[in-house]
Amino acid sequence: MSGVVRQPRSIATRLLLSAILCSVLILLAAGVLLSGIYRRTTEQAFDQRIDAYLRSIVADVMTPGDETRTAPGQLGEPQFELPMSGWYWQITRLDTEKPEIKASRSLFASVLPRLADLGVSAGIGGTRRGLATGPENQPIRIVEREIEVADSAVYLVQVAATTVDVEYDISQFRTALVTTFAILALALAGATVLQVGYGLRPLRRLREEVGAIRRGESEKIGGEFSPDLAPLAGELNLLIASNREILDRARTHVGNLAHALKTPLSVIANEARAEGSPLALKVAEQSEIMRNQVTWYLDRARAAARSGVIGSVTEVEPVVAALVRTFEKIYDERAVEFISSVEKGLRFRGEKQDFEEMVGNLLDNAGKWSRSRVEIRAAAVPGPRQMLEIVIDDDGPGLPVEQRAAALSRGRRLDETRPGSGLGLSIVVDLAALYGGSVELGDSPDGGLRARLGLPSA
């Protein structure tokens, strides 16, 4: 079972994901912090309000002979007068056999629980604070304090308030906070997209310039770049120029080698034929084989050098038209008709000379074997790779399936009566392979052979 290969993320995707992740984490942390601060502040304000009422009641209780201030309506809070309003006070005398209880009208005959009975320990000044369940099962916060007045009377003073309103305020704040931060997160994501797009624009332009060179639309990277990309653009231009210079030198050396070898071999072959002895004829035969081999390998070396040129592009239509005119003249005596159909704007990503050699060899082979008609078609091939396809059909005798692989092999001639060295189709195969293309032989609808040439397009 083969594993799934994950494609590496682009720089833009990495920047976007990292920026969005950091923004979300920061907003979450800020939201939690602000929510905690608001809760603590709200609860402190709530406790301070309860403490104020507790101090006021304690002051009333500790004032001898004056009990009027703890009467309903004297604390400045109407909620103490409304039954089950959620705001309560209660004064319990503890030094009597039966505790005497005085409470706000809001308690409506209910009694507040004691925090001391609930296990809440006293704080500074003997004050206890805690949560409990009040009348009608309301969650309440109680603050209570035991005091002793001048006549040795002991009182437990309690003030309680429901926490429902506080929790509601906190919940409303959290909702508003989440909504605000969600909008802020979307705004930050949009700003990040714009920032990354703007920041990576020079890289996209550099990619377009390199693509234009590869497609043959430009010879070097042009335009002004930012200080951090300008050195890279300059190095790429130097690399392209160096590549062209190396390939030019390789072509020159290959050409010199061709002349240096082919001329002496021709002299040897001619001299051997002139002598006429069996040995001389053998020498002439082997010299011819050597010359063919030298020609084939030198052509392959030239093709390899040319295929490595960056930015070489060839228009398909004019080359095919010129080749068709040429072969119409060559096979004029046999009245072979050449028909061409080429898609407009089709371009081969490679050297013109190599394209002429590949298509020319296939057309020449079709012309040799055809009876009266050769048809060539060229069109783009849909798919992930930019490819073009050239199909050449003839109406000749065709070629059996078992012989097609041999026909594409170097030096194999299936019919010695026809002129040629047996290198034509193999050269096409090698040239196509150098460009990442392919050659296939099949059956033509006209009854002859079909040659299908696939090449990269620009």
Residue listed under structure tokens 């000749």 = 396
- Give per-residue pLDDT as tens, 338-380: 999 999 989 998 888 889 989 999 999 899 989 999 999 999 9
Same domain, 273 and 351: no
* Residue 319, CA distances (Å) to 137, 283, 433 in order: 95, 40, 20
pLDDT at 422: 42
pLDDT at 337: 92
- Give per-residue pLDDT as tens, 422-449: 456 778 888 888 888 899 999 998 889 9
Nearest to 375 by CA among 320, 316, 298, 330: 320
Q: Give residue 275's domain range.
A: 230-307
Q: Tell me whether residue 44 is in a domain.
A: no
> Which of 124, 140, 164 is where one domain is finished?
164
Question: Distance (Å, rounded) from C-alpha 97 to C-alpha 100?
Answer: 9
Q: Tell me whether residue 48 is in a domain.
A: no
- For residue 2, pLDDT over 80 is answered with no
Same domain, 138 and 77: yes
pLDDT at 450: 92
Q: Are strands 449-456 and 337-342 parallel, antiparallel or unpaired?
A: unpaired
Cβ atoms of 449 and 408 closer than 8 Å: no
Residue type, 69: R
Greater model confidence, 68 or 325: 325
* CB under 8 A, 24+ apart: contacts of 69-76: 70/102, 72/104, 72/105
pLDDT at 215: 67
pLDDT classification of 67: cutoffs 50, 70, 90: very low
Averaged pLDDT for residues 217-244: 79
Same domain, 440 and 422: yes
- Other CB atoms within 10 A of residue 413 CB: 15
Q: Which residues of 176-190 are buried (b: 16+ CB within 10 A; e: fewer)?
A: ebeeebeeebeebee
Greater model confidence, 307 or 203: 203
In sequence order, what are the beta bridge partners of 381?
A: 387
Nearest to 142 by CA among 87, 66, 103, 77: 87
pLDDT at 70: 47
Same domain, 409 and 438: yes
* CB under 8 A, 24+ apart: contacts of 176-182: 177/31, 177/34, 177/35, 178/31, 181/27, 181/30, 181/31
Question: Distance (Å, rounded) from C-alpha 127 to C-alpha 146?
Answer: 8
Greater model confidence, 248 or 287: 287
Q: Tell me whether residue 103 is in a domain.
A: yes
pLDDT classification of 69: cutoffs 50, 70, 90: very low
Q: Are strands 100-103 and 154-162 parallel, antiparallel or unpaired?
A: unpaired
pLDDT at 375: 94
Same domain, 291 and 401: no
> Which of 259, 277, 307 is where one domain is finished?
307
Q: Is 457 helix (H, G, I), strand (E, B) or coil?
A: strand
Domain count, the chain: 3
Question: Distance (Å, rounded) from C-alpha 440 to C-alpha 447?
Answer: 16
Q: Tell me whether residue 277 is in a domain.
A: yes
pLDDT at 297: 66
- Give per-residue pLDDT as tens, 265-304: 777 877 777 777 788 778 878 877 777 777 766 666 665 5
* 21 Cα distance to chain centroid: 16
In sequence order, what are the beta bridge partners of 140?
A: 132, 162
Q: Tell me whether residue 113 is in a domain.
A: yes
Cβ atoms of 242 and 249 closer than 8 Å: no
Question: Distance (Å, rounded) from C-alpha 417 to C-alpha 411?
Answer: 15
Q: Read off the CATH number of the domain in which 115 is found.
A: 3.30.450
pLDDT at 175: 93
Question: Distance (Å, rounded) from C-alpha 251 to C-alpha 397?
Answer: 40
Same domain, 436 and 346: yes
pLDDT classification of 415: cutoffs 50, 70, 90: very low
Question: Distance (Å, rounded) from C-alpha 194 to C-alpha 188?
Answer: 10
* CB under 8 A, 24+ apart: contacts of 49-55: 49/161, 50/141, 50/143, 50/159, 50/160, 50/161, 51/143, 53/77, 53/89, 53/159, 54/127, 54/143, 54/144, 54/145, 54/157, 54/158, 54/159
The radius of gyration computed from the CA coordinates of the chain, to the nearest angstrom, equals 49
Q: Tell me whether residue 181 is in a domain.
A: no
**For 434, what's the count of Cα atoms within 13 Å in the CB-facing half-sphere?**
23
- Give per-residue pLDDT as tens, 182-224: 999 899 888 888 888 888 888 888 888 887 777 666 778 877 8
pLDDT at 32: 92
Same domain, 411 and 334: yes
pLDDT at 301: 62
- For residue 421, pLDDT over 80 is answered with no
Averaged pLDDT for residues 59-73: 59
- Give per-residue pLDDT as tens, 138-182: 899 999 999 888 777 889 999 999 999 899 999 999 999 999 999
Give, as one character, the DSSP assignment of residue 105.
G
pLDDT at 340: 92
Q: Read off the CATH number of the domain in which 387 is found.
A: 3.30.565.10
What percentage of the chain carries pLDDT values higher than 90?
Answer: 29
Same domain, 303 and 355: no
Same domain, 234 and 321: no
Same domain, 377 and 288: no
Same domain, 321 and 287: no
Q: Which two tokens stand for residue 305?
A: 């050098």
Q: 316 in the Ramachandran plot: left (φ > 0), alpha (ψ -120 to 50) or beta?
A: alpha
> Which of 250, 284, 307 is where one domain is finished?
307
Greater model confidence, 421 or 131: 131
Same domain, 134 and 116: yes
Q: Tell me whether residue 386 is in a domain.
A: yes
Q: Tell me whether residue 444 is in a domain.
A: yes
- Give per-residue pLDDT as tens, 98-148: 888 888 888 888 899 999 888 888 887 788 999 999 888 889 999 999 988
- For residue 416, pLDDT over 80 is answered with no
Q: Are strands 373-381 and 337-342 parallel, antiparallel or unpaired?
A: parallel
pLDDT classification of 418: cutoffs 50, 70, 90: very low
Provide the residue count of the chain.
458
Angle between helices 278-307 and 352-369 (to 10 degrees): 130
Angle (CA) 93-97-102 rounded to 5° is 30
